[in-house]
Amino acid sequence: MDATVKQINELKALLREHNHNYYVLEAPTISDAEYDQLLRSLQNLENSHPELITPDSPTQRVGAAPLAQFRTVKHRVPMLSLQNAFSEEELLAFDKRIKDRLNTIDAIEYVCEPKFDGVSISLSYENGILTQAATRGDGETGENITQNAKTIGAIPLQLLGNEIPANLEVRGEVYIPQAAFEEYNRQASARGEKVFVNPRNAASGSLRQLDASITAKRPLQIFCYAIASIEGNGISMPAKQSDVLHKLKQWGFRVNSEIKVVTDISGCLAYYQAILARRNELPYEIDGVVYKVNDLEAQAALGEISRAPRWAIAHKFPAQEEITEVLDIEFQVGRTGALTPVARLKPVFVGGVTISNATLHNIEEIERKDIRVGDTVVVKRAGDVIPKVVTVLLEKRLPYTTAVKLPRHCPVCGSEIVKADSEVVARCSGGLYCKAQQRESIKHYVSKSALDIDGLGPKVIELLLDASLIKDVTDLYSLTEEAAANLERMGEKSAQNLIGSINKSKNTILARFLYGLGIREVGIAAARNLAAHFGTLDALIEADVDELQAISDIGPVVALHIATFFQQSHNLELIEKLRKLGVHWPEHSGQQLAQGALAGKSFVLTGTLATLSRDEAADKLRALGAKISSSVSAKTNYVVVGDNPGSKLVKARKLGVTILNEQELINLLGTIV
């Protein structure tokens, strides 16, 4: 048996080496036939000794039974989005913000990378063995696609080298090379099968196949670009992003060869122009370039905002444009009653995507560009994402077209449309009488950052409205399990869970409640500032515009929106009804919050908490005046550690920051409260 084990290990190591040469280095040293012979030899040995099969064996890339559905997994470290820059001015402003926050006038060193038009995934390794692959999802949670990821040859099942961390999480972008995409479509067409629209959609759909054998047939590739977390075996995070990329290559990951380190922002601009000029020559699709501050300690100091890092930005390429026809112009009604005109277009292929709708923003935009039904127009994907009408080709205008007028009445509820002279946006005056505003306000109220009512997705809300079971958010708290169970595809168990989630939402915090009210231009950050400053809802309701403007990030326009909201009797009635229905939150005076037991203390949360969710723990800490940060620094007072903590724990120990487990956090909160 010892000889068999040795033979299997030697074959695995040899196949791993050839796999790396072929998929990562793109420099094979043996023929496909020779590789297949080695793989067959390993399969024969494993078939004779199935007890010796391990998850990292090259034979285990394909072969698992199809899944019934994907499991949801929570990322140990959130997968953040990037802020975008579309001009040189925006990029220079980004560089200035970096220097201001780091309090330096010295040039910043950046790492420049192509921005791949693919699908982000996260790869987790334990002692060098791939244990989990997950999609980005909403940034906090994604889908477990481990079996599908194993079919991608460039993803190592076992890391190379001897210096391997106990736990490692790597981020990468899965894509399909342009030539492979075209060849796949050619063969699919010859077989009479459906062809893909563009490489990105093809990559995304391939990763979400429940049968991994289907994924294995797709020509997927990957570039890895970041270490999300690393710990154990005496190995810590490198000092620079460029060092991270070098380390990834040492472990066997595929890293893009176009990545470059530059010494200042002018180097970024030069890189952008160089890559843009070669865009069509690259073997993969990109929609811009990404700049990252190279120093990881500086990254940690800069932190993040609204789920986007302050230390990185995507510089997007100019959008591609096409010509098409406006078939119709419709007005949609949003949560605040805002009317948004939308052009219905004759479908046209723009930048790899078929476009049939484009935003027209507002009536003034339509009038300025003189866009009419029947016009021939130039459309583009603004930032390669949002379709918009650039201009009208007047020489192609037909004689019967007429100018578009702002409707006098709401297309949904028939209420009068009003437009203040000082605003460009027209609004439906129907308020919550308008079903469109009802629907959008309920969606907002139940969202994750607001009351966080699980199970109340858009489709369920539509069903509840159509069945006249709810008209506004107050009706949610009168909903019964019996009524919910009668909804299409609901069932008793789902109805029971829904009502339980609704009842759980009654116990909230002021910041979430304020955000859930949907006050114009009041996001979650502004809601937290308001809650921290006033402490009680009554104090906020009584505040005037001047008092509101004294709060951080509350300008004159937002202050007026807040004051106006609380001057409306129907809004106060809705709030009072919610209170009577049991919606409540702990209240403190602004002075109490400012002088709270944890005022001025900075906390970082890492890992999975068993009793509290991370959001619940953060809410409780904020209620006591604490500040919640996403990164550990010398200014951090406490790091709260749950199961499977990331690199934040390592850094906390290095900096001598006080570390609390979940029970110690609960004890701390209990002592204070």
Least confident of 192-206, 263-277, 610-624: 610-624
The counts of H helices and E strands in the chain are 25, 24
Residues marked as catalytic: 115
Question: Does residue 242 sit in helix, strand or coil?
Answer: helix
Which two three-digit tokens encode residue 195?
Answer: 């062809």
Q: Is the pLDDT of residue 653 over 50?
A: yes
C-alpha to C-alpha distance for 245 and 271, rounded to whole angstroms: 18
**pLDDT value at position 237?**
92
Q: C-alpha distances in angstroms, 662 versus 339, 609, 632?
A: 47, 6, 18
Which two three-digit tokens encode residue 655?
Answer: 């900096």
C-alpha to C-alpha distance for 164 and 232, rounded to whole angstroms: 9
C-alpha to C-alpha distance for 85 and 95, rounded to whole angstroms: 11
Give every CB contact of residue 57 below 8 A, 6+ residues apart in sequence.
12, 42, 46, 157
Name the class of domain 510-591.
mainly alpha
**pLDDT value at position 595?**
52
Q: Is the pLDDT of residue 208 over 60?
A: yes
Q: Is the pLDDT of residue 46 over 70?
A: yes
Percent with pLDDT over 90 in the chain: 39
Residue with tokens 């339509």: 366
Name the class of domain 83-316.
alpha beta
pLDDT tens digit sequence for 540-571: 999 988 889 888 778 888 888 898 888 888 88
Question: Does residue 386 sit in helix, strand or coil?
Answer: strand
Q: Is the pLDDT of residue 673 over 50?
A: no
Q: Is the pLDDT of residue 287 over 90?
A: no
pLDDT tens digit sequence for 420-471: 777 778 898 887 678 888 888 999 999 988 999 988 988 899 899 888 899 8
Q: Which CATH superfamily is domain 596-672 in?
A: BRCT domain (3.40.50.10190)
Question: Does pTM surpass 0.85?
Answer: no
C-alpha to C-alpha distance for 308 and 311, rounded to whole angstroms: 9
Output the average pLDDT for the chain.
86
Which CATH architecture does the domain made up of 431-504 adopt? Orthogonal Bundle (1.10)
Judge whether 96 and 109 are in contact, CB under 8 Å.
Answer: no
**pLDDT value at position 384?**
52
> Maximum Cα–Cα distance for the chain, whole Å?
87
Name the class of domain 2-60.
mainly alpha
Residue with tokens 């484009």: 358
Question: What are the residues facing 660 on neighbouring strands?
Answer: 640
C-alpha to C-alpha distance for 602 and 199, rounded to whole angstroms: 44
Q: Is the pLDDT of residue 535 over 80?
A: yes
**pLDDT value at position 238?**
93
Q: Is the pLDDT of residue 26 over 70?
A: no
**pLDDT value at position 382?**
58
Which two three-digit tokens encode residue 397?
Answer: 């205008």
pLDDT tens digit sequence for 68-118: 778 888 888 888 888 889 889 999 999 999 999 999 999 999 999 999 988
Percent with pLDDT over 70 in the chain: 94
Fold (CATH) for 321-396: OB fold (Dihydrolipoamide Acetyltransferase, E2P) (2.40.50)
Which amino acid type is present at position 50? P
pLDDT tens digit sequence for 378-430: 998 755 567 888 889 999 999 888 899 999 999 998 889 888 777 778 898 88
Q: Do 83-316 and 321-396 fold alike per CATH?
A: no
**pLDDT value at position 596?**
59
Give every CB contact of residue 176 below 8 A, 6+ residues apart in sequence.
118, 184, 199, 202, 203, 206, 218, 219, 220, 221
Q: pLDDT band at 614, cuts 50/70/90?
A: confident
pLDDT tens digit sequence for 231-285: 988 898 999 999 999 999 999 999 999 999 999 999 999 999 999 988 888 999 8
Give every CB contact of residue 587 below 8 A, 6+ residues apart in sequence.
510, 535, 536, 537
pLDDT tens digit sequence for 460-508: 998 998 888 998 899 999 999 999 988 887 888 889 999 999 999 999 9
End-to-end CA distance of the chain: 63
Question: Does residue 542 sit in helix, strand or coil?
Answer: helix
Q: pLDDT band at 533, cuts 50/70/90?
A: confident
**Domain spans of the chain, in order of start:** 2-60, 83-316, 321-396, 431-504, 510-591, 596-672
